[in-house]
Amino acid sequence: MTEETVSQALLDQALVEEATKKSGLIWVRGATGPARALWHVWHDGAACLVGDSAAEDPERGAGARRTGSGEQPLAALGLVDGGTATVTVRSKDKGGRLVAWPAEVRELPPGSEEWQTTVEELKGKRLNAPDADTIAERWARECRVLRLTPAGEAVQRPGLMPDDSHAAPPAASPAITRRPAPAALPKLLRRGRKG
């Protein structure tokens, strides 16, 4: 390695760590499905997150998966132990893409020392948990705790961004307006402001 590549690798590492620490959400693209925004905590050199389990549910039969834990949906992303993912972090100030980095996915075994220290960090960031006192037990029973560890140089960073926008069309939803707004609506809205 030349001195320049070592220097760039160190800058990438610092950018990944600082941007991920400061960001409330990261966009994670696993082996399957689209990228998804997930809350996380940066702990011990990795982005750590908790979400629904990808384990089979014996009560629902073969092939059925446990879901509905009340946490982030991870099953459709294809995040498996030993797999890879791409993490994109947006700028907290401007909202634009700041850095994208490859990650190695590791699932922490429930109850292990590493799992417990990571869960303690995650508990502090989990907002509005209905069971704050027993959340660790629920996560051990129903969820997966994952570590996304940087695995290589940033694939996107300032000075190394793609030319295309990466914009995606909106997902199909019943909330989409299919007809134009009624012609009288602007008049009704103006009338409401005067009174």
Q: How many CB atoms lie within 10 A of CB 99?
A: 24
Assess contact for 36 and 28: CB atoms under 8 A: yes
Which residue, 55, 65, 81, 23, is CA-closest to 141?
A: 55
Please tell me the total number of residues recorded for the chain in this structure.
195
Residue 148, in any domain of the structure: yes
Boundaries of domain holding 93: 3-170
At 111 the pLDDT is 92
Which residue, 62, 59, 108, is CA-closest to 81?
A: 108
Residue type, 113: E
At 194 the pLDDT is 57
Q: Across 99-108, 155-164, 180-189, which has the greatest mean pLDDT? A: 99-108
3-state secondary structure of 135: helix
Each residue's pLDDT tens digit, 80-119: 999 999 999 998 888 788 899 999 999 999 999 999 999 9
- Give this prediction's pTM: 0.77
- Spacing of C-alpha 55 from chain mean position: 19
Residue 194, in any domain of the structure: no
How far apart are the C-alpha atoms of 17 and 21, rounded to whole Å?
A: 6
The total number of structural domains that make up the chain: 1
Residue 78, in any domain of the structure: yes
3-state secondary structure of 60: helix
Secondary structure letter of residue 72 according to DSSP:
B
At 151 the pLDDT is 93
- Spacing of C-alpha 176 from chain mean position: 25
32 pLDDT higher than 70: yes
Each residue's pLDDT tens digit, 110-147: 999 999 999 999 998 888 888 888 999 999 999 999 99
Residue 185, in any domain of the structure: no
CATH number reported for the structural domain that contains residue 129 in this entry: 2.30.110.10
Residue 189, in any domain of the structure: no
Residue 112, in any domain of the structure: yes
